[in-house]
Amino acid sequence: MNQTPAQAREFITALAPMVKGKDGCDIVLCVPFVDIWVAAEAAKGTNIHIGAQNVHFEAKGAFTGEISADMLKEVGTEYVIIGHSERRQYFGETDETVNKRVKAALAAGLKVILCVGEMLDARQAGITDELVAMQVKLDLAGVSADDLKNVIIAYEPVWAIGTGLTATPEQADETCGVIRDTVAKLYGSIAAKEIIIQYGGSMNDKNAADLLAKENIDGGLIGGASLKTDAFTAIVSAAQ
């Protein structure tokens, strides 16, 4: 929950020339609902894509305060984050509602950034692999192999978000590998190889290169560092 529409326009105007020509990776800014229209206009003609931070699973109806996938599409949204740990932790998202949102977004032609990850107690209990694999299975239930091509999976250990803690590159790679293995079991080895798996636990300009060098980490879901043009540009360079 950062940046007004005016601030978003200013940010993108400043960021665009800094990441121009960095075509080795996709760059997506997922902004608050009120910023989407302005952000999409500001990003036109650049290599920056615009996403939303959530979506409702119904097309319309008595869901006061919610935003549908078609609404997002019409204002220039290409991507949407679904199942972010803060949505699960603070706003009651479950794997059931995440799955419904995933299918609604894909049906509307949006690309999905699906978030999965464990709490600290699960990590300490040694059940990270089982928990994350289960989340992937539940959240992708009913999603076809063809639709999977428009899904990115972001592993975000909840204990490493906003705490300053970060999973070691080895820990992050291991769990991203579990996600890839789970996708392989569900959809086959080719789909598992092609799917983009991000790491989203306090990745920043200092640790991005080490994390992104790992075999199973294809990108980052960036939090606080995405609000600083210099830091974000450094992460994009590391991803290249």
- pLDDT on residue 162: 67
Q: Which of 84, 86, 93, 118 is catalytic?
A: 84
- pLDDT on residue 160: 80
> 5-239, which class in CATH?
alpha beta
User: What is the DSSP secondary-structure string of 16-37?
Assistant: HHHHTT-TTS-EEEEE-GGGHH
Please say if 49 is a catalytic residue.
Answer: no
Cβ-count burial of 158 within 10 angstroms (0-12 exposed, 13-18 middle, 19+ buried)?
buried
Q: Which of 86, 93, 118, 156 is catalytic?
A: 156
In three-state form (DSSP H/G/I as H, E/B as E, the rest C), the secondary structure along 48-89 is EEEEECCCCCCCCCCCCCCCCHHHHHHCCCCEEEECCHHHHH
Residue-by-residue pLDDT tens, the chain, 240 positions: 999 999 999 999 999 999 999 988 999 999 999 999 999 999 999 999 999 999 999 999 999 999 999 999 999 999 999 999 999 999 999 999 999 999 999 999 999 999 999 988 898 899 999 999 999 999 999 999 999 999 999 999 988 876 767 789 999 999 999 999 999 999 999 999 999 999 998 899 999 999 999 999 999 999 999 999 999 999 999 998
Extents of the domains making up the chain? 5-239
Please say if 84 is a catalytic residue.
Answer: yes
Packing angle of the helix pair 5-19, 229-239 (nearest 10 deg): 40
Q: What is the CA radius of gyration of the chain?
A: 17
CA distances from 226 to 22, 88, 99, 118, 223 (A): 16, 21, 27, 23, 6
- pLDDT on residue 165: 72
- pLDDT on residue 2: 97
- DSSP-derived secondary structure letter, 46: S
